Each structure stands twice: as C-alpha cells, then as structure tokens.
Structure 1
Amino acid sequence: MAQTPKKGARSDDPGLAPRALALDMIEGVQDEQMTMAEMLVHDHVLSHPPAVRARAQRLALATLRQMARADAALKPFMQRRPHAEIRALLRLAVTEILGEGAAPHGVVNTAVALAKKRRPSASGMVNAVLRKVTEDEGRAAWSAAQPQRLPNWLRGRVGADWGNAAVARMEAAHERGAPLDVTPKFQRDAAALAEKLGGLLLPTGSIRIEAPGQVSALPGFEAGDWWVQDAAAALPARLTGAAPGKRVLDLCAAPGGKTMQLAATGADVTALDISETRLERLRDNLSRTGMKEVDLIAADALDWSPDAPFDAILLDAPCTATGTIRRHPDLPQAKDGTEIKPLVALQAELLDRALGWLAPGGVLVFCTCSILKAEGEAQLAAALERHPDLSACPLPEDMAQSLPEGWAQDNGAIRTRPDHWADLGGVDGFYMVALRRG
C-alpha cells in the first residue's frame, strides 16, 4: 500500500493549511504514486477540517491539470530546475494565481512561508520567481502553453488506438475539467428538474450544471430527486432492459449510480461489490433516494454465485479509469501502466463468470470507463471468439435516436471519449455493449 502523505508541512495557520495540504497531495501523487482517493482517507488528511480538505483538493487537482502551463510560465525566470518539492510548490502557487485568479500578494507570501518550512534555502528564490511570473511575460507564457500531455505510458497507447490528433483533443478536454452531470430519478421529471437546477437537459437525458457550488445544497438533493453521475456513465443501465418483474444484477456496483438507475425502473435489483465500505455509501444513496428495496451483497464476484439466474446483468468492470481523467487528473501520474494487463485479464474472467448467471434470453451489459481499446473493443472481440454462441445486441431504438453522431458503433456498442461533446463541456470516456447468448 502507498505511504501516508507527508506531514511536515502541516500548519494551524488558516492561510497556510489548505496550501500546505495541497502540496502534500501533489507530492503524494507524483512521488508516491497515490491517487487522490487513496490520500483522502489517510489520517493526516482527515485530521484537517472539511473546508481545508476541500480547498486543498481543489487546488491540488487544478495544479495537476495545468502543470504544463505552470511550467511554461515559470521557465523564463528559472536558471535551473529546482528541487522537486520546490517545483511542486511553485506550480501550485502559479496555478492559483494565473489559473484560479487568486490575488498574487497572499499566494506569494504563503508560498514563501511554506518554502521556509520545507527548504529554507529556497525561500528567496521562490519569492523572486513568483513576483516575476505574475507580470506580463509569465501570463503570456501561461496562455500560450499547450495543455498538459498524458504521460508516455498512456499517451502511446491512446495514440495507437485513436491517432495523435484525437490524443491532442483529449488532452485539451482533460485540461478543461468537467461540469456536474446528474441523473434524474425518473426521466419523466427531467425537463422540470433541469429548469429547477438551472441546468441543461442533455440529449441523452442527463442534466448538466455549470459551477454548481455545494452539491448537497442544490434543489432536490435531500429529496433524492437525482444523483451525481456523468452522462456517459448513465448509459449502460439503459442497455439492460430493466423493468418491473425482472431480476437484475449490478456487478461491481458501488458507489451505486447504476444501481439506482436500475432500481428506479421497478426491477428486482441485487447489487454486489467486493468492498463493504463502498456498499455503505451505496446504502446511504439508496436511502436518500427512497430506493431501499435493493439486495446488497459484499462479496468477491470470482467466489460468489447466485441462487437463481438473472434476466440482466450489468458488469461495470474494474479498469484503468482512463476515461475519467477530466475529473481525476491525478490518475495518469499515480499509475504507470503495469496494471493494464492484469485488469484486462480480470475483466475477461468476470465477464465469462457472469455469463453463466444469465437466464435464457438474458442480457449482460459489459462496460468500462476507459479510453483504451484493450478494455473495450478488444474485450468484445475476445469474448465473441471465446463464446461462439455470444452476440452483441442492437441498440434500443430510443437510445439510437438520442445518441450523438459517432457514439454508436455498427455492432451495437457505444464508445464515448473525453473529446466528444466538446461544445457542451465534454463527456467521460466509456465503452459499453449488451451481449446475449444463443
């Protein structure tokens, strides 16, 4: 397991605390290859007040998302590359000033104070560089820089799958980040709910909200009228054909957006996940949305077996999550590609096992939030070769008509990428296909 983030920069000064914690988070990603999700549950991070944690996370993610711009702005004023700790500090400060629009004076003073705590000998250089970078030359270099490139382990694979032009578009989408998408509990309420939330009703039925603020304070949250879910992630559940009277399994279910979609149809839903902790979060979400009649099971799908077959199974298989970099810019830096081969093998094993739990005529929906064909298109091709009686189902007519051009593939699968829907704010990368035997 990755190590705990550094504690040396902790400060009780409210001006220093969130920036010190953000610096710890950046170092945790870059030096210890920890994801943000892993860091957020460490005692060191949890010891800070929620407001400090939230601000630190926002600053750290913004810095990771815009490192290339920060480096371009710093370059004219750096005679040599500084120590990694100071480089991270400079990137953080420049991003807050030039990317977040913070007042330079306070940011510079705090950065100098942090440098004195971390590497006192560098504090003078930090002060001088940051005061220069806020001038015209630094701002122009920031604006002219290209978006942050994917690391080599991922960029080469994505380029081989989609071409270099598509890679550049995806990198631009990653830098822009992601708006908030929500899924209405009942689609019949979508238009009214979009108006209530001040959001945009997307062609696929999700609602997109720009600059939402505190999510739990939005209209309808406490009432359980909707839940947060990327527009692409809301599509696989619709492929299952879930309806009242059907037995449906959500495999690898937590945190539960797809489970709630399935439950809202009136189907008899079982949700299985290997993590009891993650299922607790799903249980809370089901309670908030008033959908408690779901059978929750904490188990390893490779060891568990159902007592009766299912009419539909939704397998959101463990994957690299490379389709979610817009929201999680820490992922490409916290990973190195070594997990791809074992994940692909696990996906195939889960798919083969789940196929055996289908009732005659049943449907298995396989999906991954990945932009790698190895975890999508290639998985389908391999599954069809292993199972000659397996076939991909055509898209339901209502989905085929609502999907943007280019998302649906000839074989009935759906492929989304971060550079899709650029005019609407992008979408997560996903692959999904419904499969039937016989």
Structure 2
Amino acid sequence: MLSARSQASFLMDMILGEQRLLSEINLSSVTKNLSTSDRARSQRLLLNALRSLERADALLLPLLKKRPNLKIFNILRLATVEIMDNGDAHGIVNEYVSIVGMQKRLQNYKGLVNAVLRKVAASEQSTWNNMKIPQLPKWLRRMLLKSYGSSIVEKIEKQHLERPPVDITLKNRALLKYFCNELKGTEIFKHSLRLKNAGQLSKLPGFNEGAWWVQDLSASIPVLLVEEIKGKSALDLCAAPGGKTMQMAAAGARVTAVDISEMRSAKLKENLTRTSLEAKIVISDLFEIKNFFDVIILDAPCSATGTIRRHPDLPYAKSGVGLNKLFSMQYKMLQHAVSLMKPNSQLIYCTCSLLPQEGEHQVHKLLSNFRELRVDKYLPKDLVFLEEYRTHEGGLRLLPNHFAETGGTDGFYIAKLVKV
C-alpha cells in the first residue's frame, strides 16, 4: 500500500539518483494513488530530509559498516530526519522497515534498516541539534563567498536549514486583517500574510473562493514598485504560475501574460480561474512579442538559487554548468523588454537568484549600453525601509537571511527601469 513515507522515498530516489528537480517531476501522475493530505505530507517529509541531508549522513555513516545502495540509504535518511524532528520513533522505524520488506530486491536489508534506525532513535537530541549547519554546494558557495563574504553566506545557510513559512498575497488588500484572523497568520509588510504551519492549503478559508494565492514575500514586491497601475496595459513575461499577473490584474491593469510553456500556462489559467481574475494568456517565446506596454515585468529564467530555502532539492539537481549561457540569455531578454517600452513605460527586471551576475551585473550592463534608461528608486510608503537593501547600480538585493526573525525570505533581485 502506497503511503506518504514510501512516496517520499521514491521522490528522493529520483532527485538524488537522477538529478531531477521536484518541479520537473509529474507529481499528479506519481502521487495519483495518494490522498491530497498524504501528497502534502510526502513532500513535507522529503523537503525536510533534503534540508538536513548532510546532518543525517553524519549521524548515519558511523552506524554503518559500509554505505548501502542509494534506495536503502535514502530510506535511512528520511527516517533519521523524521525521528530527530521529534517524530514517533517506534512508528517511524516500523513503517520504514515495512517499506523495505515490500520491495523484493530490498527485503534482505530489513534487519539492517531496523537495527540502524533503532540506534538513531537512541541518539541524544543534543547531538543532532549541535551538528554543523549544512553548506551550500561548492560551486555555489564559492561564487557567493566572493560576492558576500563568509559571514553572510553562513547566515544564508543557517536560514536554509529552517522550515520556511508560507506567504500569501490577497486579491483584496482591504481583507488583510480579516484573513489574518481566519488563517491565524501574521501580517508582513502590510500587504502579505505569513503562515507558520499552513497545512493543506486547499482546505484553508478563502482558497476555493480565490481570495488569495501563495506567493513568497520577495516575489510580491516587484509589482508594488509600479506607480499608478490601474487601467494601464501590463505585460508579464515568463508569467507562469502567475503571481505577478494576478497582482496586476487585481490592481486593475489590463494584463497580457506570456509564457513559453503550455504546461505552466495551464497552471496560470487555473490560478486565474480560481481567483476570478482576467488576463490575456499568450503561449509564446517572449521574443515574438512586439507590442508596446505601459508596464513590463520580466522575472527572467534564472538559477533559482534564491529559492533553496523552499526548494532544497535544487542543490542536488543543479551543478552550475551552463551559467554563462543563462546569463547571456537573460541579458537578451532584458534588451527585448526594453524594446517594448514606450516613453513613459515602467520596466521591472527581477530574478529569484542569489548571484549578482543575474541581477546587479545585468542592470549595470544595460545602463551602460542604453543611455536613455535610468533606475527609478521609487518605493511605496509601506516599503521605504527596503532602501537599506539598495545596491550600487540602484536595484534592491534581498537575501534569505533578511527578516530572519519572522522566517526569512527568498533571495531576490529587483530593479525598476524607466526612460529618461
């Protein structure tokens, strides 16, 4: 019988064995025999284990004569993290031993799994708590050390170990207080709600009615930098799954949402339908777009290194190969976005990346090549404190350790560009 734990084990094998991103796995097909609540639980178990993988290995390896095959090792890792996260050790051990027993090729490992996990369960909690904070992959850590220094990088790594809250954006900001109460959330930046233990999102008040959508705090900021958006033509490039499209539509803009992926565009359409918001969806390469717009948002494809706190699978599926090609493509996209600007247009460029090469460097290069452009440093009154994160060329640089006292945020770069 398929369970949340056996599903978590299967997904971990795909991520660590095949270097697959969780977002690239067809979860609807893979988890079709699980209930909605068990699907959510399996992902929660998986992500928690990936965050603490380095710690799990440090605890397990001294208990093993030799490293077992990947399937068994992943089962041990998942169980170890769950046990050390104050889970019911007896139930956890029994179920994972049963999972091993159900697979013919793994049955001979039942005794090993049982013995090792019982030793894990007998381990002191303080041993686990005092273990070294897991580090970022070497390729990424090296780049970040050069950009930010060891102190900042260590703070980022510490934040990555924490289970992140869920941020939501409301369709009607006037209902912020109401949903703060209904969802037992915390108001943050006077426009988002932060939920510490959200549970199954689709069962929360307001979800089915389309009153809100999930959107990390950092990702909600770019649209808020647009002045007087109501009634204006707005273009959201690389729009899916549609957080910024919905923000602009809810603010009264006439939105065209462009994405090259049919699958991702279907998710965008689903989100618009649920929230009863309107936007014209165009499934196309953004370079095919030729019209002019008052507002242009380009959340460019990037390394996504700013989202590791929410997507801890990313370091195991990406190696840093092909970054220069990615940087080049981002700049071409940015150049094309500039070509769609009218004299009074506002262009927001952003990436969910920690790498200055995908943010600050791109805007610096653009300003050098397009003398008619300048960075507009406008901040709405509720966000004036973000001036602290202003970068040399005029953008905003947010890091996961910022606002750590309330749960941190995704790493993000944002710059607003206008014509002189």
Q: TM-score range by the shorter chain?
A: over 0.9
- Are the counterparts in 1 of residues 224 and 380 from structure 2 also a CA contact under 8 Å? no
- Are the counterparts in 2 of residues 69 and 141 from structure 1 also a CA contact under 8 Å? no
Aligned equivalent of 1:86 = 72
Give 1:291's aligned amino acid. L
SS at match of 1:181: strand
Tell me which of 27, 48, 56 is aligned to 1:62: 48
Q: Deviations over 1:152-203 (max 9, x none)?
A: 1211112211111211111111110210111121333323332332211112
SS at match of 1:157: helix
Tell me which of 256, 260, 272 is aligned to 1:286: 272
Give 2:83's aligned amino acid. I
Give 2:352's aligned amino acid. C
Q: Does 1:357 align with 2:344?
A: no
Q: Does 1:112 align with 2:97?
A: yes
TM-fit CA distance, 1:237: 0.7
- Are the counterparts in 2 of residues 248 and 313 from structure 1 also a CA contact under 8 Å? yes
Give 2:384's aligned amino acid. Q
Structure 1: gaps spanning 5 or more residues: 1-11
| Shift in CA distance, 78/242, structure 1 to aligned 2, threshold 3 Å | farther
Alignment of 1:332-411 (within 5 A): 332-398=315-381, 400-403=383-386, 406-409=388-391, 411=393
Counterpart CA distance in 2 for 1:49 and 1:111 is 19
| Shift in CA distance, 67/416, structure 1 to aligned 2, threshold 3 Å | same
| Shift in CA distance, 133/396, structure 1 to aligned 2, threshold 3 Å | closer
Alignment of 1:209-358 (within 5 A): 209-292=195-278, 294-306=279-291, 309-358=292-341
- Are the counterparts in 1 of residues 360 and 393 from structure 2 also a CA contact under 8 Å? no
SS at match of 2:377: coil
Q: Does 1:428 align with 2:414?
A: no
Aligned equivalent of 2:88 = 103
- Are the counterparts in 2 of residues 400 and 408 from structure 1 also a CA contact under 8 Å? no
Counterpart CA distance in 2 for 1:164 and 1:200 is 31
SS at match of 1:235: helix
Counterpart CA distance in 2 for 1:342 and 1:42 is 32
Aligned equivalent of 1:9 = none
Q: Deviations over 1:220-251 (max 9, x none)?
A: 22332221111111000112225223111111
| Shift in CA distance, 140/268, structure 1 to aligned 2, threshold 3 Å | same
Q: Deviations over 1:120-141 (max 9, x none)?
A: 443322221111111144x332
Structure 2: gaps spanning 5 or more residues: none
TM-fit CA distance, 1:49: 4.4
Counterpart CA distance in 1 for 2:382 and 2:390 is 9
Q: Deviations over 1:78-136 (max 9, x none)?
A: 2333333322121111112112x322222222322333424344332222111111114
TM-fit CA distance, 1:77: 2.0
Counterpart CA distance in 2 for 1:20 and 1:344 is 39
Give 1:122's aligned amino acid. Y
Give 1:419's aligned amino acid. N
Aligned equivalent of 2:130 = 144
Aligned equivalent of 2:117 = 130
Counterpart CA distance in 1 for 2:270 and 2:69 is 44
TM-fit CA distance, 1:42: 7.0
- Are the counterparts in 2 of residues 390 and 437 from structure 1 also a CA contact under 8 Å? yes
TM-fit CA distance, 1:424: 0.5
Per the normalisation by structure 2, the TM-score is 0.94
Residues paired across the two proteins, number: 418
Q: Does 1:415 align with 2:397?
A: yes
- Are the counterparts in 2 of residues 269 and 295 from structure 1 also a CA contact under 8 Å? yes
Give 2:321's aligned amino acid. T
Give 1:409's aligned amino acid. T
TM-fit CA distance, 1:385: 1.9
Of stretches 194-203 and 392-401 in structure 1, the one that deviates more from structure 2 is 392-401
- Are the counterparts in 2 of residues 242 and 312 from structure 1 also a CA contact under 8 Å? no
TM-fit CA distance, 1:60: 1.3
Counterpart CA distance in 1 for 2:402 and 2:394 is 18
Counterpart CA distance in 1 for 2:21 and 2:372 is 40
Counterpart CA distance in 2 for 1:322 and 1:107 is 32
TM-fit CA distance, 1:322: 0.8
Identity over the aligned pairs, expressed in percent? Answer: 40
| Shift in CA distance, 411/400, structure 1 to aligned 2, threshold 3 Å | farther
Give 1:248's aligned amino acid. A
SS at match of 1:201: strand
Counterpart CA distance in 1 for 2:231 and 2:29 is 45
- Are the counterparts in 1 of residues 56 and 80 from structure 2 also a CA contact under 8 Å? yes
- Are the counterparts in 2 of residues 321 and 370 from structure 1 also a CA contact under 8 Å? yes
Per the normalisation by structure 1, the TM-score is 0.90
